[in-house]
Amino acid sequence: MKHYFYVDNNQLFGPFTVDELKFKQLKKTTLVWTDGMNEWVTADSVDELIEDLVSDLPPSWPTGDETTKRDPFEYTLRYWIIRAKLERKIKQELKDYPRGMGFCHHYWKVKKEILKKDYGIEWKSPAELNPHILYD
């Protein structure tokens, strides 16, 4: 079992198990280290910690009154908790895919697949929710 140390306000804390860290409210920029790491890294770069980084939600929480519709799941706390990990998975999946016209549709397809497979979430893309808008 891994034990992590972290630094907050120039003070070292630890060691803690992943389960114990859930109660420490680490921010994504908190520096963490465990045996086997060559250097200290930010907590958001450690997959097993990412879902518990809940203390730094975005400054402007979406209100849902935007002119284009978005999937309601995107307005939930769970989405904001998994968002960084989800984006890393999408980025990895699309690393060799060419950018350009139509890329957003492929991005949304991959996002939909990952949300379904990894999180059991049925997500609808902006194109599905806004059929009156022509996306590239």
- 56-105 tens-digit pLDDT: 444 444 555 557 888 888 877 778 778 888 999 999 999 999 988 889 99
Phi, psi at residue 7, to the nearest 5°? Answer: -115, 130
Is residue 58 assigned to a domain?
Answer: no
Cα angle 66, 110, 54 (rounded to 5 degrees) comes to: 60
Is residue 91 assigned to a domain?
Answer: yes
54 has pLDDT over 60: no
- 8-41 tens-digit pLDDT: 888 899 999 988 887 777 888 889 999 999 999 9
Do residues 3 and 34 touch, judged by C-beta distance below 8 A? Answer: yes
Is residue 24 assigned to a domain?
Answer: yes
Distance CA 42, CA 29 (A): 5
Is residue 98 assigned to a domain?
Answer: yes
Is residue 17 assigned to a domain?
Answer: yes
Q: Is the pTM of this model over 0.85?
A: no
Is residue 134 assigned to a domain?
Answer: no
- The residue segments making up the domain with residue 43 are 4-50
Residues 6+ apart with CB under 8 A from 116: 122, 123
